[in-house]
Structure 1
Amino acid sequence: MTTVSGHRAADGGWTIVVPVKALDRAKSRLARALPASDRRELALAMASDVLRTCVATPGVSRVRVVTSDTDVAALARLLPVEIVAEPPGTAGMTGDDPLNAALTGAIRGVPGPVGVVTADLPELGTSQLARVLSAASGHPHSIVPDHHGAGTTMAFWTGPVEERRPRFGPGSAARHVSDGGAVALDGADPSGASGRDVDTPEDVLALTGRTVGAATAAVIRTPSARQRPHAAGVSATMVR
């Protein structure tokens, strides 16, 4: 694991790890609505908003991004964010989700409470994340299920370091609970923003009228995007 140090050292607060896959592989399920260049731009914008939220949230002492993408790394260098290189070959791994191998390396040996926050939560703000962290601090292991109830948008550990095992991938919410003993933080974020990840055109469409981060809002308001036809009714003018 190669780590580029950020600008703050951990002081007993939370270490938050944000995984961002290479942008040319990001958000493939949006392909029926957005061309590759737009998907890449949207993924980078959402990652930017999530990273900035994590950095600005009270109680967070260190933020790490796990990525192999040069644009994401460049973004991280502008923020107080550590860069953890995605292990070589994880993109082609079979069996367990390769994301788990990358995350395991990123949290290994980190003292204090640790959390993983996915990079596709454009509605996540500091107040929502602070509420979730407060709830997570009361459990050895906890998660935030996605808005479908099957996936996981956040996972947290405050217990022994050797028991911290990410279980992301299909059906991850159930596996975090049944295999890892995690507690689902239902109701910790009444707004629901912490569970509303963006994977499909329908998820993008559901952002209509909701508050999203500045980078995400700028991307989906781009004039060039507005002029393109979008499948499944997705419009680039859907957010205020």
Structure 2
Amino acid sequence: MTPVAWTLVVPLKPLIRAKSRLAATAGDPARAHLALAFAQDTVSAALTCGAVRDVAVVTDDRCAARELGALGARIVPDVPSAGLNPALAHGAAEVRARRPDAPLAALNADLPALRPEELARVLDFAAGSPRAFLADADGTGTTLLSALPGHALGPVFGPRSRAGHRASGAREIVLAGVDSVRRDVDTAADLVAARALGLGPFTARACREQVPCQGAGVAPVNSGQ
């Protein structure tokens, strides 16, 4: 069987509004810096994955667009500016307008421990179903949703999206040993869990410079820095 060369669609809201649940751990500048670092590690790992043809980032954030574009991602302006699912639908439409036969996978931008080989295993599994999804580490959300050519992406990300994607007819991807693809980061505890898997270089540097990871939690930003 010919290997599937996936186009990933990665949505990213304006950094100043991203990762609000980290607000108690990091102030606004540090939180935005972390959100960008998460996305940089996600995109960087995705672009080195053998199953990935290219990555389209849907964002209106100029800083994120510049930094992620420098890594090799194609930037798609978030024209709808109406939230996560409209951004993903728009990104998918932009990709398919250029390449109608593109196999698509929506991927969260907050996977700072992402490993290319684990992503490849998930995408290889996804290639066997018209639409498929991977649940997040908490078991209620979704970190990846795929659609083969001829099938709409149909994203229903948000609270309880695992149930939503299952109800939409997508097949759940059940694989062991793909923790880095499931470990999204919304809270300080999530960041500690991602650290245990091994943070990517951008997030590791952001933690050292902005919010050093210490012990069982993430230490608050030093206001004197």
CA deviation map 1:9-50 (0-9, x unaligned): xx9721101111100000001111111111111110110011
Structure 2 residue 123 is matched with structure 1 residue 129: no
Give distance in 1, aligned partners of 2:203 and 2:192: 13
Deviation of 1:130 (Å): 0.6
1:221 to 197, 208, 214: 208
The alignment partner of 2:36 has SS state of helix
Q: What is the TM-score normalised by the length of structure 2?
A: 0.87
Tell me by how many angstroms 1:79 deviates. 2.5
Partner of 1:100: 85
> Residues of 1 paired with 2:173 and 2:51: CA distance?
18
Q: Which runs of 5+ in 2 are unaligned?
A: 221-225
- Identity between Structure 1 and Structure 2 (%): 37
**Cα 1:226–1:100 shift into 2, 3 Å:** closer
1:168-179, aligned counterparts within 5 Å?
A: 168-178=157-167
Structure 1 residue 88: deviation in Å?
A: 4.6
Please tell me whether residue 186 in structure 1 is matched to residue 171 in structure 2. Answer: no
**Aligned-residue CA RMSD in angstroms?**
2.1
Stretches of 4+ aligned residues off by more than 4 angstroms: none
Query: Which string of whole-angstrom CA distances, capped at 9 and with x for unpartnered residues, describes residues 42-90 of structure 1?
Result: 1101100111111111121121000010111101321221111012542
Identify the match of residue 19 of structure 2 among 24, 27, 47.
27
1:43 aligned partner: 35
- SS class of match (2:174): coil
Alignment of 1:235 with 2:215, yes or no, is no
| 2:186 aligned residue | 199
Which letter does structure 2 place at the counterpart of 1:81?
A: A
Question: In structure 2, what residue type is equivalent to 1:102?
Answer: A
Rounded Cα–Cα distance in structure 2 between residues aligned with 1:131 and 1:78: 26
Do 1:205 and 1:235's aligned partners in 2 also have CA atoms closer than 8 Å? no
Cα distance, 1:207–1:164 mapped onto 2, change above 3 Å: closer
Aligned to 2:139: 149
**Per-residue deviation, 1:112:** 2.5
Q: In the alignment, what sits opposite 2:53?
A: 61
Q: Check the 8 A contact 1:49/1:216 in 2, yes or no.
A: yes
> 1:183 deviation in Å?
1.2
Cα distance in structure 2, aligned partners of 1:69 and 1:57: 25
Partner of 1:84: 76
- Please, which runs of 5 or more residues in structure 1 have no aligned partner? 1-10, 91-97
Distance change in 2, residues 1:124/1:208 (3 Å): closer
Aligned 1:112-123 pairs, distance under 5 A:
112-123=102-113
**CA displacement at 1:192 relative to structure 2:** 1.1
